[in-house]
Chain A
Amino acid sequence: MSVELTIGPIAYHWPTARKRDFYARIADEAPVATVYLGEVICSKRSPFFDADLPGVIERLQRGGKRVVLSTLAEVVLPRERHATLQLCSQDDFEVEINNVSGLAARGNRPHRIGPFLNATNEATISWMAGQGASHVCLPHELPAPSLAVAAGAARELGITTELQVFGRAPLAVSARCYHARAHGRHKDNCQFVCEDDTDGMPLVTVAGEAFLRVNGIQTQSESYVCLAAELADIVSMGVSALRLMPQDVDMVGVAQVFPALLDGGLDVDAATGRLEGLCSGIRFSNGFFHKVPGRHYVPVHAGDRVLQ
């Protein structure tokens, strides 16, 4: 079965020039099939990149990538409702929907289900497929047995599934901006302080333990999810798209590890070693997959299979 790599939407408020450069490299060098574009976290950030979006899309398509536009996770304000409606009304590009208001706007036209929509089970996936969903990004916290059932059910329905295999886990979103709060401000006068933290703002416990990352209204894991050792299991479940979330590391280098792992060019230990080298100072975790605390890293050895 064919498996493809995808680049998820950039969660952070990277400066415009940096985003442009990032996508240029992805277009030219990364062995990925699909790139998700768009602001998912904070509607205040959107205007910074809107003008560059057509150029970036063109560049990615020229590099042979499929472009999918992602919608906001949290939709409350009129401008957020409007932006969601707009993205879900167009037919030039595929759309990944992250808020139910997008489903309402999209109706029965084809669409992708984003990771924020809680497609946690076969009944919900079946409902969504019946409403026009063609592809579902499964929630990051589903344990392996549930992932297998969900992916299997999707296949029977004739739709495809995706799972994040690299990058900080999107643990929570809120209506409140915690970046602004850390700087004694609130969301309306945030002055975009989140731009300074290109890999999230670290939160450390009062006992000195690195714990979480803040990204505007989003809370992320301190560790990077890394499912390199689980990749064979994930593919055998029928998951056909593997999502890499952009972090402040050499993402082209990261993207190159996975095809080598899939085609046997690298074994799990070598691949994990390569990723560790690319992400120095970062802890990896795979706990959600193994139904232990998400922050844990369960060592998986060659020959171990999670699913019997």
Chain B
Amino acid sequence: MLMPAHGDTAQQARPFSILAQAVAGRVLDPLLMRTIRRLADKHRSIFDRLGPHVRSSFIIDPVEFPFVLHLVANPEALTFRTVPRDALPLHDALIRGRFRTLFDLVDAGADGDASFFSRDLEILGNTDAVVTLRNALDDIDGSIAADTADLFGPPGRMALAMVRRRGLAGAGKAAR
């Protein structure tokens, strides 16, 4: 287990972080839960591929975000939620990169190995857990991002199209 709060991740100004977290949690956490439940229902084979790592705890850290994501892909106790960067829960592995890099991975557009070799992706902790998660998610046809967007109907698909074209700024525009 990695200990909470890596030295270099706790640099966010605390008041901003708490505020951002509160807003993000209120808005995003229900969406994240819906996403992971849908993924779990549609692709049971993921859990089989994850093997012992269904119990592994992952932190996904998009560096431009004021918060990070916490994932445990355990069918008995699914967890996918936002957490403050300066108060990380116990976790087995941390995956860090720019939003665009992380998004491209779940949109099936990018090769994880290539992103890692080019230093766009940083992996800390249990490498076996990360490789297993990557391999499990890779056995899903099409795009996880598109699956997720479908959950939210036409607005979801519109947001996805914008993110694909312009990154995060696009999603914000679509949401407005």
Do A and B touch, yes or no (CB under 8 Å, in the complex)?
no
List the interface of chain A (C-beta within 8 A of B): none
List the interface of chain B (C-beta within 8 A of A): none
